[in-house]
A and B are shown apart, each in its own frame.
Chain A
Amino acid sequence: MKKLLNTLFVTTQGAYLSKEGECAVIKIDKVEKVRLPLHMLDGIICFGQITCSPFLMGHCAANGVTVTFLTEYGKFLCQVQGPTKGNILLRRAQYRQADNYLQSAMLARSFVIGKIGNSRVTLARALRDHPDKIDCEKMHYAQQLLAGCIKKLGNETDQERIRGIEGEAARIYFEVFDQCITSSDPLFCFNGRNRRPPVDRVNCLLSFLYTLVTHDIRSALESCGLDPAAGFLHKDRPGRPSLALDMLEEFRSYIADRMALSLINRGQIHANDFTVSATGAVLMKDDARKTLLTAYQKRKQDEIEHPFIREKMAVGLIWHMQAMLLARYIRGDIDMYPPFVWR
């Protein structure tokens, strides 16, 4: 499998990145802090007020290292990359399928199977790992409801009904998600998803993690030659990476939700790692963001066996594999897109 390379996250405000030979050099207040060989990296992500020399950006573009600029809080600003990868024939096939109602429904269904399947597994884990701390009856019931949603998906070919089942499953899942939080700190209570901006700590963590995973999925799709904006489950909207969001559905619970839970439950992130603004928006402090990024990078290095390919690979490469399988499906090499579900 493709080598899992590192992503360099630059979060220190005012940092300056430049190229020296084959290395990226980070300077803060004109003092060199870090020097990293570029062949070890597949991406550089700059959060907030970071500057980057054009020579570093050019070298990265030429060598497949994506340089991305996000706001300090993870909102996507822009990305520097070389010539568009992949080929127009694949993109055209993707657009044709996206325009085809039934084809779109079939792909949307696969993504939603992945989403609900992984959600169900997350609840099952919580039930197994700490039955003493949760309302088991409520959780069992939610699990049954999710199983019912998956059953309903089985023969569904109508896009709107598939979206309906997805919404229903998300509601069931988030209604019991607070049961998975074992921290006794009341500040980590969870009363459903909220965003733009998140108004509690759990949602703040979830939103940030979803942004990171979306970013990685978007790169994976692009490197396979797919257009991350032409989705099947998510409708087109300018500026929205709909296909990346489609694929994110498979990974929300498996990667992001579980990481947020383990950071909270293991006490790696505390309630005072956040600030609450006057409007109630919750923001992560610098150190917490670093803790989270480190944990994310580490998580990506864990190895699992891909359930469809049956080969060992790093967790951080699973979305590359899914993107490749999606491209293969769109090109007609395989008979269906197999969603990623980890049990």
Chain B
Amino acid sequence: MYAASDFIALSALQHFVYCPRQCALIHIEQVWAENSFTAEGRVMHERVDDGETSYRSGVRTTRSVLLRSSMLGASGIADVVEWHKSNSLEEPFPIEYKRGRQKKHDADKVQLCAQAICLEEMLNLTIPAGALFYGQTKRRFDVTFDSTLRAKTVSTAECVHELFRNGVTPLPEPGPKCTQCSLQELCLPKVVAHNRSAKEYVHKLLHELSEGEI
């Protein structure tokens, strides 16, 4: 159980699974940069998160739903929660909107599962599934909240809390994901990770400036 003052943002879980350094840059170092991907995502969310409630054939749709969980120690906003009628009850079904397409990694699933865990804690019920909607492919994928995904979500939240306690930004692990990341220029993955030594650079500089012709 976490105190509200120690809550992290739900989105931090998604960031952490994608890249622990990105998570630290955004949430600890508090930097942000926009690129075309983040801008598209933001515009899409502006449309999704208009806060309106709508109804269609037995499904109530709520938008920008405020969430929290003391167990995860996280709070945030769900883009959309559908309330599916089953018997006389309404069962919540969270839907997270993402700009791109379905990905190999679990980052989006973990974020969605965290939203479900929040809803479960707030409403004292069990949510078996939710969905991810991808803007680029306009496809919706159901996500089952099985025990593996739940365990990963809980352990990710623990990792993020640990990161906040340490306050140390992890070193980058450069990879293909870096090319999509809007924080590349702030992160300097290649400079930092390849351990390009600034000491050696300064040493060389000193030598050239004091000995050689310039």
Contacts and interface: CB of A to CB of B under 8 A. Distances in A.
Interface string B28-66: 111101000000000000000000000000000000000
Contact of A324 (B28, B188, B206, B210): B188
Nearest to B21: A333
Chain B interface size band reads 20 to 34
Contact of A309 (B28, B186, B191, B214): B191
B206 A333 contact: no
B125 interface: no
Interface of B: 28-31, 33, 167-169, 171, 185-186, 188, 191-192, 196-199, 201-202, 205-206, 208-211, 214
Contacts of A2: 33, 185
A335 B197 contact: yes
A60 to B, nearest CB: 17
Interface of A: 1-2, 85-87, 89-90, 110, 113, 116-117, 120-121, 124, 147-148, 150-151, 153-154, 224-225, 308-309, 324-325, 328-329, 331-339, 341, 343
A113 B205 contact: yes
Contact of A90 (B29, B33, B201, B211): B29
Given A309-B191, A337-B198, A153 B206 contact: yes
Contacts, number: 90
Given A2-B185, A334-B191, A89 B28 contact: yes
Contacts of B208: 343
Contacts of B210: 147-148, 150-151, 154
Contacts of B205: 113, 117, 338-339, 341
Contacts of B168: 331-332
A147 B169 contact: no
A153 B202 CA distance: 11
Given A86-B29, A335-B197, 9 more contacts: A86-B31, A89-B167, A113-B202, A116-B209, A120-B214, A147-B210, A308-B196, A308-B198, A324-B186
Given A324-B188, A328-B192, A336-B199, A87 B29 contact: yes
Contacts of A117: 205, 209
12 contacts: A113-B205, A120-B209, A150-B209, A151-B210, A151-B211, A153-B206, A154-B206, A225-B29, A225-B30, A331-B168, A331-B169, A333-B192
A309 B96 CA distance: 38
B160 to A, nearest CB: 15
A128 to B, nearest CB: 10
A324 B184 CA distance: 12
Contacts of B29: 86-87, 89-90, 225, 331
Contacts of B28: 87, 89
B171 to A, nearest CB: 7
Nearest to A116: B209
B39 to A, nearest CB: 11
A86 B211 CA distance: 40
